[in-house]
Chain A
Amino acid sequence: MTLDRRDLMKFTGGGVFGALLTPLPWKLLDDTANWSQNWSWTPKTPRGESRVKYSACTMCPAGCGVKAECVGDRAVAIEGAAAHPVSRGVLCPAGLNAHTAAWHPRRLHNPPAAAIADLSKRIAGGAKYAILDLGPERALSALYREAGAYLRMPDRQEATLNAVARLLGRPEGSLGIDLEHTKTLIAFGAPVMEGWAVPGRVAERWRSGELRLIQVETRQSRSALAAETWIPVEPGGESLVALRIARGEIKVDGPAVAIGAGGPEEEAVAALNLQLGAVGRTIVPRPAAPWKLAEAQDFMKTPDHSIDVLFVDSSRAYDPVPWPAIRRKLSASGVVVALSYRQDAITRHADYVLPVAAPFESLEDAGTPPCSTVPALAVAPALIDSPVVKQSGIDHLHAILGKSGAVADVLKQRAAAIHAAKKGSVVQFADGAATQVSEIASADDLWKKLAEGACWMGEPSAEKLIVKQAAMPQPVIPPRDPQRPFTLLVHNSPDNSLPLMTKLYQESGLYAPTSLARVNPETAAQAGLKSGARAVIDTAYGSAWREVLVDPAVMPGVVEVSACAACSDIAEIATDGSSSDWRVAAANVRRA
């Protein structure tokens, strides 16, 4: 019997069919996927005996306790330290990825050698320089304060507390929220369940059912979904809801506290807290930490066109920073120097980029968490044995200015100040053991405890707040712009491009990708858009394009886009830079 072409085809067909009924193709597919995990350029975790170390997360100001499994001196896996008295073992997704930040796909490596010399020359020549710290309250920040004019952006997480402080005639940063005795939390757009304050502190109260959450928000956020009551509002309508709550039209179980998201609603939210009796009950005084700091200035209040060299430390920025706000502070020949570990919204525009250490690559610290009722300090020892970049922002700045100083020295001074004040206690993450500071023999012993993985928690204030009354401001609904009939709504999202997060958020829908614009089907029909189309979003301040996702969960007339500290081009077209608020802008949307 001879084999002709037709027989061969049939033999092959039978073979293919037979192979499909065996593990061969499926196993090869599986193994090929596994093989791709081991490409030579994929970062590998070291092999060997593992040890547990404790540190604190420095991705945001919450400073949650971290338990790291280390092989050699490198963290290969991290989780929350259960004994941390505030974070209680909880880490947000960004925190769980923090040990991979050093391998960020857009990691910055070598500074241009000429940059330091060029900047030194400019400053020696009399250029007026300032430092904008987007991750304030660190020991590093204390060194920045000593190095020159120190600027910080308005604190969005403590915006309500600061607005209340202004009403009471108190300094900003002097109030905290007694969440442990709060029954109802009314959030006006604040991302309560998405990384607000300290995630573990909120999560524990919410999970136990002891904290009732009322979310007043334009979009169906994760916080809105987790809330007992979600009150959807049109963009800019938050102050109207605050007024209705103050009038008793919406019932609230006390003790309650209202918090905003750092926008124009803060005045109304602060007044609502006075009406609800929150001040003195759930909003309480926070004692100052026992160390002195040089004066900080509000960046937004800095005169326009007044800075020749602006250093921006965006390495621990959590919120997007709109470039127009920075641009308008620069003089005609002004330059921006970005201090960051990865390409981000600032490095994109900066004239000079100086790479700095990523989280866990160097000794850091976490100060008082947002909205805390007591001052706090946690030391975050390095967890990566061979850092890609060793310098911090202050090392570069000192090289330019010819000054010196180290983070470790500042932290030791703070430990000495705590020891001298003899207030509060030190909680060790390994076993949860709390030691009164007054029982610790020396400042050195206290430093050693902190450096091994512990945090100092100060004592609550015994001061009674003098409560004043404030009338609820009349809500102002912004007028519609006929040229821009839609509302661009920008919301914050963690940096999705951390190595592990890149995979997870795409597979789980954990965070909305910054590449998408979500619109209601009604809005899509009105603007002639459909899912997958490319849309151009125009505001009075610029244009940006996004891929459209038609989603009935979005409010009609609204274009929802997420931004993060590493990707904030959308925030840049939501403001002219006169305000640090980038959340809402009138917009037009059209098909690209």
Chain B
Amino acid sequence: MLRGPIWFAAGFAVMLSAGWLVFPRALYQKSSQPIQFSHRTHAEKAGMKCEDCHSLRADGAFTGIPQVDKCAGCHAAPVGSTADEKLLVDRYVTPNREIPWKVYARQPDNAWFPHAYHVKLAKLACEQCHGGHGKTDSLRAYESNRVSGYSRDFWGASLQPATARTGLKMSQCEHCHDEKGVVTGCIDCHK
């Protein structure tokens, strides 16, 4: 008599587990960054600030991740003896080749995020969106969505509530804009 409910419950349990435990892991492909980088070392030992590398120009444009010539300012020759330091100098700085960083916070092509408005006008701290990234000792694996190709930080952070990773979806943009009384239309962000 219980045979029917048992099979139903079995199917229910299998898919519930698969949906919550297997699928979120299987959906993302992990890959490592081309070289390791310590924000902490640069901040604490070299005394650098976020804006020394990630700055806003006078015209309001955001410089993003610095290009290799910025690294070359200090790393023309290896500073230290780690394998990553040697890799940085040999593979990128000396031949003046850009480092193909995988950007955790890369926006989808159809969205336009002006750092100038958020940093200068709204006076948001970097940590508010990027969490403790600026204090990390190493770069975590980059996870890209196997279906959409987007970074997990944009579209998948809330998939596993257990993880402390920060992330951003449009609903979060809207929520923050609502809280701060910023009135925006579609074409303010979608260009």
Interface residues of A (CB under 8 A from B): 1, 3, 6-8, 10-19, 21-24, 27-28, 30-32, 34-35, 37-38, 44-45, 49-52, 69, 76-78, 93, 96-97, 99, 430, 500, 504, 507-508
Contacts and interface: CB of A to CB of B under 8 A. Distances in A.
Nearest to A34: B148
Given A45-B109, A69-B61, A500-B190, A31 B16 contact: no
Contacts of B60: 52
Interface stretch (B6-14, B40-48, B132-140): B6-14
Interface stretch (B20-28, B76-84, B122-130): B20-28
A93 B18 CA distance: 45
Contact of A13 (B8, B24, B148, B187): B8
Interface in B67-101: 67
Contact of B147 (A22, A35, A50): A35
Contacts of B187: 93, 96-97, 500, 504
Interface in B112-154: 112, 114, 145, 147-150
Contacts of B11: 10-18
B38 interface: no
B45 to A, nearest CB: 27
Q: Binding site of A, secondary structure by majority: helix, strand, loop or mixed?
A: helix
A299 B5 CA distance: 82
Given A11-B8, A14-B9, A18-B13, A507 B148 contact: no
B59 interface: yes
Contacts of A32: 147-148
A200 to B, nearest CB: 16
B191 interface: yes
A49 B12 contact: no
Given A45-B109, A77-B112, 13 more contacts: A1-B3, A10-B5, A11-B11, A13-B11, A18-B14, A18-B15, A31-B148, A31-B155, A35-B148, A37-B110, A44-B109, A50-B61, A51-B61
A13 B63 CA distance: 53
B183 interface: no
Contacts of B34: none
Contacts of B148: 31-32, 34-35, 37-38
A99 B148 CA distance: 26
10 contacts: A6-B4, A11-B11, A15-B12, A19-B15, A23-B159, A24-B18, A34-B150, A52-B59, A504-B187, A508-B186
Interface centre among A3, A8, A24, A51 (most CB of B within 10 A): A24
A202 to B, nearest CB: 18
Contacts of A31: 27, 145, 147-148, 155
Contacts of B59: 51-52, 430
Interface residues of B, number: 45
Given A10-B11, A78-B191, A500-B187, A38 B16 contact: no
Contacts of B27: 27, 31
A34 B23 CA distance: 18
B62 to A, nearest CB: 7
A96 to B, nearest CB: 5
B112 A18 contact: no
B108 A37 contact: yes
Q: Which 7 A-B pairs have the closest CB atoms?
A: A22-B19, A14-B11, A34-B148, A18-B15, A15-B11, A52-B59, A77-B191
A381 to B, nearest CB: 15
Nearest to B114: A69
Contacts of A504: 186-187
B147 A38 contact: no
Q: Pick the most buried of B60, B108, B148: most chain A CB atoms within 10 A of its CB.
A: B148
B16 A18 contact: yes
Contacts of B156: 27
A307 B76 CA distance: 71
Contacts of B3: 1, 7
A30 to B, nearest CB: 7
Contacts of B67: 49
Nearest to B160: A23
Contacts of A44: 109
A307 B59 CA distance: 51
Contacts of A51: 57, 59, 61
B12 A18 contact: yes
B147 A21 contact: no
A1 B108 CA distance: 51
Nearest to A45: B109
B186 A21 contact: no
A14 B149 contact: no
Q: Report which residue of B14, B16, B62, B159 has the largest number of chain A beta carbons within 10 angstroms of its beta carbon.
A: B16
Given A34-B150, A49-B64, A21 B159 contact: no
Contacts of A508: 185-186
A35 B147 CA distance: 6
Contacts of A52: 57, 59-61
A1 B3 CA distance: 10
A76 B112 contact: yes
B109 A37 contact: yes
A23 B24 contact: yes
Contacts of B149: 34-35, 38
Contact of A76 (B9, B64, B191): B191
Interface centre among A3, A52, A93 (most CB of B within 10 A): A52
Nearest to A99: B191
Nearest to A91: B187
Contact of A22 (B20, B110, B186): B20
Contact of B15 (A16, A49, A507): A16
Contact of B145 (A34, A37, A49, A78): A34
Given A31-B145, A97-B187, A18 B19 contact: yes
A77 B4 CA distance: 58
Nearest to B155: A34
B54 to A, nearest CB: 12
A14 B150 CA distance: 32
A77 B189 CA distance: 9
